[in-house]
Amino acid sequence: MVEGFPEHLCAMAMVCLLDFEAYAEKYLPKIAWDFFAAGADECSTRDENILAYKRIRFRPRMLRDVSMLDTRTKILGTEISFPVGIAPTGFHQLAWPDGEKSTARAAKAMGTCYIASTYSTCSLEEIAAAAPGGFRWFQLYIHRNRAVSRQLVQQAEALGFQGLVLTADLPYTGKRRNDVRNGFRLPPHMKLKNLEGAFEGDDRSEYGLPPNSLDPSVTWDDIYWLRSLTHLPIVIKGILTKEDAELAVRHGVQGIIVSNHGGRQLDGAPATIDALVEVVEAVRDRVEVYLDGGIRKGSDVLKALALGAKCVFIGRPALWGLAYKGEEGLQDVLRILRDEFRLSMALAGCASISEIGQDLVQFSKL
């Protein structure tokens, strides 16, 4: 029995990410679990994000000296200890009382990047103060009230965030059936700290905000607007096609996150690992390409890197780690992924990230 933790925390051996998922489903309030787990409509894209990895097979190489393994890489010039960061997700206090402060601390402790969401339940100042010197990017939703978005971008830069991530796939919120059934609302003691006082009236029925507060008129030209507000590198999140990848490069972004919003937006969109291939081909190394969605094992990370991702980001598994034991639980999740990734690298014959290439994988006819 570990001092200070309830007995059920110690009884379970947390061996893989699915153990944290099972814990979170069992112990989180139903409304919180349903919110984190939700996909759009029938959840086919959410589920396909995971299933698509099973159709990719390795072509492992033997007798390659793997006595010394190096998992370090760089994203936009900053070194991370292994190629897994924390994707932007909202409402971390639904998983753990300290919310995003715990997330920031865990990311710093594990030497990786944390993308803080516009929809955080801790303010950007609180997040920055929780883990001084941590490597963080800020994820932006553009609201109809542009002054709010401008202020957030400038505040993030002033607080030392090192990148700006524009989410492109949410002109409107996807239909998540369980949230509708549950009448999802943030508990009264939780606030969207970055947006307090930004909107008139008392209606906060749409994920903590007034209905229709997001700006659905955003276009590629708004990247120029963002560029005028900040010196931070701009990464665009939510790209799934070669056409949009080409437009992203043409509009001067520094990075692309191949993402379908965890299957929470357009059901029937491709799995991200499937979309990655055409995006990487279109980009031709002109900007860095990352991926989120469906990462559940270290071998998934290896497959994504083999297909051209520079780094992957995890969304739901980070929340499961928080739900288990806050900062410590999230560190456990990251540590398990790191160790599984190292082992997969070694067993596939790669001693360093630079040795991972497309010849390491093949698509099977499942």
> Mind telling me the catalytic residues?
261
**What is the distance between the alpha carbons of residues 10 and 23, in angstroms, rounded to a whole number?**
12
Beta strands at 73-75 and 78-80: parallel, antiparallel or unpaired:
antiparallel
Q: Is 293 annotated as belonging to a binding site?
A: yes
Positive/negative CA dihedral, 37, 266, 253, 242: positive
Query: Which DSSP string corresponds to 294-363?
Result: ---SHHHHHHHHHTT-SEEEESHHHHHHHHHHHHHHHHHHHHHHHHHHHHHHHHHT-SBGGG--GGGEEE
Q: Is 120 annotated as belonging to a binding site?
A: no
Q: Is 252 annotated as belonging to a binding site?
A: no
Find where tokens 């990075």 sit: 255
Q: Is 46 annotated as belonging to a binding site?
A: no
Rg (alpha carbons) of the chain, rounded to whole number: 20
Q: Is 89 annotated as belonging to a binding site?
A: yes
Q: Is 99 annotated as belonging to a binding site?
A: no
Q: Is 284 annotated as belonging to a binding site?
A: no
For residue 116, list its beta bridge partners. Answer: 138
**What is the distance between the alpha carbons of residues 106 and 136, in angstroms, rounded to a whole number?**
12
Q: Is 315 annotated as belonging to a binding site?
A: yes
Q: Is 72 annotated as belonging to a binding site?
A: no
Is the separation of the CB atoms in 90 and 107 below 8 Å? Answer: no
Find where tokens 């890197």 sit: 305
Q: Is 324 annotated as belonging to a binding site?
A: no
Q: Is 294 annotated as belonging to a binding site?
A: yes
Q: Is 295 annotated as belonging to a binding site?
A: yes
Query: Which is nearest to 282 in space by CA: 243, 251, 236?
Result: 243
Is the separation of the CB atoms in 112 and 331 below 8 Å? Answer: no
Q: Is 316 annotated as belonging to a binding site?
A: yes
Binding residues: 88-90, 117, 139, 141, 167, 176, 237, 259, 261, 264, 292-296, 315-316
Binding residues for glyoxylate: 141, 167, 176, 261, 264
Binding residues for FMN: 88-90, 117, 139, 237, 259, 292-296, 315-316
